Amino acid sequence: MAVLYDRVALIGLGLIAGSMSLAMRAGGLAGETVGYARSPETRAAARQIGLVDRVAESAAEAVAGADLVVLAVPVGVMGAVAAEIAPHLKPGATVTDVGSVKQAVIEAVAPHIPAGVHFVPGHPLAGTEHSGPHSGFAALFRNRWWLLTPPEGTDPEATARLAALIRAMGANVEDMDAAHHDLVLAVTSHTPHLIAYTMVGVADHLKRVTESEVIKYSAAGFRDFTRIAASDPTMWRDVFLQNKEAVLDILGRFTEELFMLQRAIRMGDGAQLHDYFTRTRAIRRGIIEAGQDTSAPDFGRMPAGAATGQD
């Protein structure tokens, strides 16, 4: 494949940025990748494993001369990072992000983007519960969706070029309104994560079941809850605070559904339970048919430690 950007700057060197760097290297999509992370330990690890072509010592150094700048930091600090790099952005460059919330990121970042620089917010719907520079792998985005939420007036050529890069890394691309994105993600990602954290918290506080029993006898359902609840706490703290309204809306609807199921169980209404589970089961089948998961044991996921070998 042809080089799509001569220089790509990755601000933040965790799972998503690392996977982007590896995918771009595998496809020959960037002339040079430059990375920066605030933690000296993260920068040292990235250098050691050759995660990017060059590790910078500041965000300003990383973005200098870059044609594409990717903000891969927690959504709560996007605005501060944008303000820090703004004076150093190359005219004509594109800035994007990989945050799980879009309205708040646009409000925080857009005011700092200089005239002549294009801002195309984005969100790859891909990830694992692992984080840090060692967690990335080139195949992370294959057949996953990457949503772009360009504000009105965004240069269509800049959006198309970024979309071409994303497709070249193996993902599917779709444009979406930022507010609608935040509502969709509250349903498909944010509230499920909150429920997972809550269920693991319930197990932690239930003194009649010991911690050793929870660990030893974890069935598939609880095992998957703990996988989700192992996700980066800083990232998820910021997601819930920045997408507050949509999450609270969906959480309220979830509570109503839960009350309905409680009543059905209490009243012994097996017909209602069977009908409800039949309808919800169809959604799971739809996810498999859409190629977004598999029906294999453990949902087709690789054993721990094997992810970095996936390519």
10 and 156 share a domain?
A: yes
Question: What gap in Å lies between CA 36 and CA 182, rounded to an integer?
Answer: 28
Amino acid type, 275: D
As given in the structure block, the two tokens for residue 230 are: 């192992």
**pLDDT of amino acid 54:** 97
161-166 long-range Cβ contacts below 8 angstroms, 24+ apart = 161/4, 161/5, 161/94, 162/68, 162/94, 162/96, 162/120, 162/122, 164/4, 165/4, 165/5, 165/24, 165/29, 165/68, 166/122, 166/124, 166/141
Residues 127 and 188 in one domain: no
Domain count, the chain: 2
- Answer yes or no: do 268 and 224 share one domain: yes
Q: How far apart are the first and last CA of the chain?
A: 17
Last residue of one domain, picked from the residues 176, 203, 228? 176
Is residue 119 located within the same domain as residue 204?
no
| Domain boundary, last residue among 116, 144, 176 | 176
Q: Say whether both 128 and 226 belong to one domain.
A: no
What pLDDT score does 304 carry?
A: 43
pLDDT at residue 219, rounded to an integer:
67
127 half-sphere exposure, CB direction, 13 A CA radius: 23
Phi and psi torsions of 143, nearest 5°: 60, 20
Q: What is the mean pLDDT of the chain?
A: 89
Clarify whether residues 147 and 186 are in a common domain: no
Q: pLDDT at position 230, please?
A: 81
Closest to 169 (Cα-Cα) out of 96, 78, 228: 96
Q: What is the pLDDT of residue 199?
A: 83
Pairing of strands 94-97, 30-36: unpaired
Q: What are φ and ψ of residue 90, in 5° steps?
A: -75, 135
Q: Are 22 and 133 in contact (CB under 8 A)?
A: no
Predicted TM-score of the model (pTM): 0.82
Q: Tell me, what's the pLDDT at 307?
A: 41
| Tokens coding 124 | 């790859």
Which residue, 176, 192, 210, sits at the end of a domain?
176
Same domain, yes or no, for 230 and 301? Answer: yes
% of the chain surpassing 90 pLDDT: 71
Asked if residue 163 and residue 39 are part of one domain, the reply reads yes
Residues 146 and 40 in one domain: yes
Q: Are 104 and 250 within one domain?
A: no
Two structure tokens written together for 149: 């939420």
What per-residue confidence (pLDDT) applies to 150?
Answer: 97
- Measured in whole angstroms, the distance separating CA 205 from the mean position of its chain's CA atoms is 29
Q: 185 and 139 in one domain?
A: no
Structural domain harbouring 251: 180-309
Find the CATH number of the domain harbouring 42.
3.40.50.720
- β-strands 145-148, 122-124: how paired? antiparallel
Q: What pLDDT score was predicted for residue 81?
A: 98
Residue 9 near residue 61 (C-beta atoms within 8 A): no
Place of tokens 């703290």: 237
pLDDT for res 300: 41
What residues contact 280, with CB distance under 8 A and at least 6 apart?
Answer: none
Same domain, 212 and 154: no
Helix (H) or strand (E) holding 253: helix 244-266
Read off the CATH number of the domain in which 281 is found.
1.10.3660.10
Angle subtended at Cα 221 by Cα 215 and Cα 226, rounded to the nearest 5 degrees = 50
Which pLDDT score, from 0 to 100, does residue 309 have?
34
Residue ranges of the chain whose pLDDT lies below 70? 207-211, 215, 218-220, 294-311
